[in-house]
Amino acid sequence: MANVHDEVLDARLIALSLSGYTMARMAARCGVGHKLVIARCRALREAGLMTRRRLGRGPARVSPYSDPDHKKPEPDVLHKPTTRKCLNCRKAFASVWPGNRICERCKGLAEWRAG
């Protein structure tokens, strides 16, 4: 049977966890060892009184982009395939977007793949 001190510690651990404290900070705040905090948090999770958090992060935040209706905006200008000169060999090639400045032949060279 848990004693009164365990119940007080458990309540503090739950509150600190919800506030975004890490286990190391909870141990320091409660004045107990880190291993005791780990064991108590594990017991509280198994009892369904505490949920697992991502390590090293604050409380979970809801992103405005998690809305399923939020879609990536369409670009104002659609990129048209055009002929560009390769920055490596200077030969003309069909570029599909403005950032494509190296032709496929040059991208296949060992020097290009090596960086």
Residue range(s) defining the domain that contains residue 90: 82-114
**Residue 95 within any structural domain of the chain:** yes
Q: What is the pTM of this model?
A: 0.44
Structure tokens of 67? 């809305």
The answer as to whether 57 is a domain residue is no
Terminal alpha carbon distance of the chain: 64
Per-residue model confidence as pLDDT tens digits over 70-112: 777 777 777 888 999 999 999 999 998 888 999 999 998 888 8
pLDDT at 85: 95
Domain count of the fold of the chain: 2
**67 found inside a domain:** no
Can you give the length of the chain in residues?
A: 115
Compute the Cα dihedral for 101, 104, 105, 108 and give only its sign: positive
Q: Which residues pair with 92 in a beta bridge?
A: 85
In a domain, 52, yes or no: no
Contact present, 30 and 13 (Cβ < 8 Å):
yes
pLDDT band of residue 13 (cuts 50, 70, 90) is confident
Residue 58 falls inside a structural domain: no
Does 89 reside within a domain?
yes
What would the pLDDT profile of 14-65 be if each residue is shown by its tens digit?
888 888 888 888 889 888 998 998 898 888 888 888 877 655 555 556 566 6
